[in-house]
Every structure is written in structure tokens, then in C-alpha cells.
Structure 1
Amino acid sequence: MERHRVVVYPPPSEGGGRRVCLDCQDLGIAYDLRDLMEFLRRAGIDPDSIYLDDELFDWRSAGPTIW
């Protein structure tokens, strides 16, 4: 199984949301976990194989509960 690296950055503005990058490719701004999972699904990663505490994720500044 290929390993990827997902970086989830801190909220960028008063509008909320967090920029998401996969292997240095910008996927967009996610406003919740559904958005994050959809970005990863579109990138070819099976959402059912994702665990938010996996080393796949680099949660910058805040974990998966902050959007």
C-alpha cells in the first residue's frame, strides 16, 4: 500500500476552514471532516481506509476537531 502524507493547516481566516495538501499538492480548503474525506476520495484514497490518528496526517496547530 502506498503511503501518502496529508498536511492539514491551521484555519486561514475568519471564515474558518483548513487548507489541505496531499504529498505537497494543494487539495483545497476543508470546512469539516466530510470535506477532508471527499478531497482524499477524489485523490484516489479510500475513505474507509483512513484513520484520523494515523501517521498519514500532519495536523498543524490543532487536531481533527478544529475547523
Structure 2
Amino acid sequence: MASVMPVVVYPPDEDGGRRVRVDGELLGRAYALWDIAEFLRRAGVEGADETYVEESGLIEWRGGGPDVWEH
């Protein structure tokens, strides 16, 4: 990854999905860490996996951290 992209994961909605925004672009709703990892891989973050998502200090978690998936 050439530059750092801001990653924001929003609070869970009533269905347990969390909106994911990367570099200002809404990429979709995640229902698990692997969804976020897939969004990041598609955005060009090589090697992004569930551990990366869980431990990365570059992700701003709003409304709870990587273990919060219920509204």
C-alpha cells in the first residue's frame, strides 16, 4: 500500500451490519471481520485478513471495536 487510507467502521445497525468507509468512499456493510478484510483487499491493502482488521491501529472503530456486531 503506497499511502495510508482512512478506514472508518461505523456502529452496528439494527441488522448487525456495520458500514465501512475507506478513503472517503462507502464500500458497503460488513457483518464480520472477514467482510472488512475483503473490502480492504479490494481497496488495495495487500494481505488484509481478519487478524489485520482486528489489530490495525489504522481503522477507526465507531460505536464499538472489532468484537461488536450487535445493535
TM-score of Structure 1 vs Structure 2, range by shorter chain? 0.7 to 0.9
Deviation string, structure 1 residues 12-66 (Cα, Å, up to 9, x no partner):
22x1110000011001000000000001111111116x35343311100100011
Q: Does 1:57 find its partner at 2:51?
A: no
Gaps of 5+ in 1: none
Q: State the distance in 1 between where 2:53 and 2:40 align.
A: 12
**Alpha-carbon distance in 2 for matches of 1:51, 1:10:** 16
Alignment partner, residue 42 of structure 1: 42
Q: Which runs of 4+ in 1 moved over 2 A?
A: 50-55
| Root mean square deviation of aligned Cα | 1.5
Give me the identity figure in percent. 49
Give distance in 2, aligned partners of 1:18 and 1:55.
Answer: 18
- Consecutive unaligned residues in structure 2, runs of 5 or more: none
Structure 2 distance, partners of 1:40, 1:51, is: 9
The yes-or-no answer on 1:8 pairing with 2:18 is no
